[in-house]
Structure 1
Amino acid sequence: MFSQSATDGELISLASRGDQQAFGTLFDRHAEVVARYAWAFRPDAADVQDLVQETFSTAWANRASVSIVDSSLLPWLLAVCRNHARNLARKRAKEAHLELPADFAHPAEREHLGERERLRWVMSEIEKLGDIDRRICELCLIEGVPYNNAAASVGVSPAALAKRVERIRVKLRRAVMES
């Protein structure tokens, strides 16, 4: 057991031996500051929550080798948060690049025949995909099923599914742009 006045160094040392309560105290002590710092990188509350979670998950995974600066874990946590934020920004930029044009997002809202024709054309392009890719497209791109669930449904790993989705998006985007 430890006192609430224990230093970050003492708490991380206890956590490195598996003391989850000590790590919980570190979380309680620093999570709010890490969250405020994360807001500087991402304007979305869900992204901020993800950054805080990723930061503390990284701290837990590396608790035996964490460097304490000036008796505080906070500088290390903020550096980890910044790195996760940069990774997330790169991921979001890549996702934005691979998205289909916005006018294909909600087929029920189409009012113009030309747009409906283009949508039919894209759907015919989807039909040309192989069985697994077509099912992945339906699950992930049309129905919005999370990758983990879709991967289990089609019998591939989430990483393999993510690569296939990326290839499908590029293929469909290229087909749309060439039409």
Structure 2
Amino acid sequence: MMPERSDDQEWAARAAAGDQQAFRAIYRAHIRPVYWIAYGVLGSAADAEDIAQETFVVAWRKLPGLQLAGTSLLPWLATICRFQAANRLRLLQRDRAHTADAVGETVADVVNVEDQVISAELAERIAEEVGSLSELDRAVFRLCAVEGYAYRAAADELGVSHAAVRNRLSRVRTHLRGAVKEVRDA
């Protein structure tokens, strides 16, 4: 199930106090979106996996000082991820600059701050919208969109029909697209 707003806050407080189970819950809840953010910046599955892991290592170290101002940890994790990915891009650029066969290749050495702010706003808005869904819709979204379940497997897990999962996920995606459009148009 997608984390409830209070789940992130509770998990963060427990993890900050050293509770590894709580941190595992944070990891399980947010690893997929963090991975996709890294992949979007880097365009490489291997680098995205590394950066996603590094994001959670940094988060573990920073949790004791975190003042969770929002409802979700995702915008905070997304920011850490983007900075880690930008550092990786700079490292790749340096490495390629020192490689003789890198003639003509370019890697951006800056990350657009405006894009980062929009991405953080977007992640927060998506987290808010997902949090406002019914329990069943959140479960369908988590299983199909986050964890990659097939409709039939999600239906079996939730005890509903295949059509119910398909229709609910379609409505949730349409709803989220509207929220994304609002943030981008703002």
TM-score (norm: length of structure 1): 0.52
1:62 counterpart SS class: helix
Q: What is the match of residue 34 of structure 2?
A: 34
Structure 1 residue 24 corresponds to structure 2 residue 24: yes
Distance, in Å, in 1 between the alignment partners of 2:39 and 2:64 is 28
User: Greater Rg, structure 1 or structure 2?
Assistant: 1
Distance, in Å, in 1 between the alignment partners of 2:70 and 2:62 is 19
Q: 87-96 vs 64-73, which deviates more?
A: 64-73
Q: Unmatched 5+ residue regions in structure 1?
A: 103-179
Structure 1 residue 75 corresponds to structure 2 residue 75: yes
Q: What is the match of residue 90 of structure 2?
A: 90
Q: Work out whether residues 7 and 71 of structure 1, in 8 Å CA contact, stay in contact via their aligned partners in 2.
A: no
Q: What is the match of residue 12 of structure 2?
A: 12
Q: What is the match of residue 45 of structure 1?
A: 45
- Aligned-residue Cα RMSD (Å) equals 1.6
Q: What is the match of residue 156 of structure 1?
A: none
Deviation at 1:67, TM superposition (A): 3.5
Deviation at 1:35, TM superposition (A): 0.8
Q: How does 1:13-162 map to 2 (within 5 A)?
A: 13-101=13-101
Q: Per-residue CA shift, 1:145-174, capped at 9, x if unaligned?
A: xxxxxxxxxxxxxxxxxxxxxxxxxxxxxx
Distance, in Å, in 1 between the alignment partners of 2:7 and 2:57 is 20
Deviation at 1:101, TM superposition (A): 3.9
Deviation at 1:38, TM superposition (A): 1.1
1:72 counterpart SS class: coil
Deviation at 1:37, TM superposition (A): 1.1
Q: Per-residue CA shift, 1:110-142, capped at 9, x if unaligned?
A: xxxxxxxxxxxxxxxxxxxxxxxxxxxxxxxxx
Deviation at 1:70, TM superposition (A): 2.2
Deviation at 1:45, TM superposition (A): 1.0
Deviation at 1:95, TM superposition (A): 0.3
> How many aligned residue pairs are there?
99
Distance, in Å, in 2 between the alignment partners of 1:77 and 1:69 is 13
Q: 50-59 vs 93-102, which deviates more?
A: 93-102
Higher helix share: 2
Partner letter of residue 31 of structure 1? I
Q: Unmatched 5+ residue regions in structure 2?
A: 103-186
What is the percent sequence identity of the aligned residues? 34
Distance, in Å, in 2 between the alignment partners of 1:20 and 1:101 is 45
Distance, in Å, in 1 between the alignment partners of 2:69 and 2:49 is 25
Q: Work out whether residues 59 and 66 of structure 1, in 8 Å CA contact, stay in contact via their aligned partners in 2.
A: no
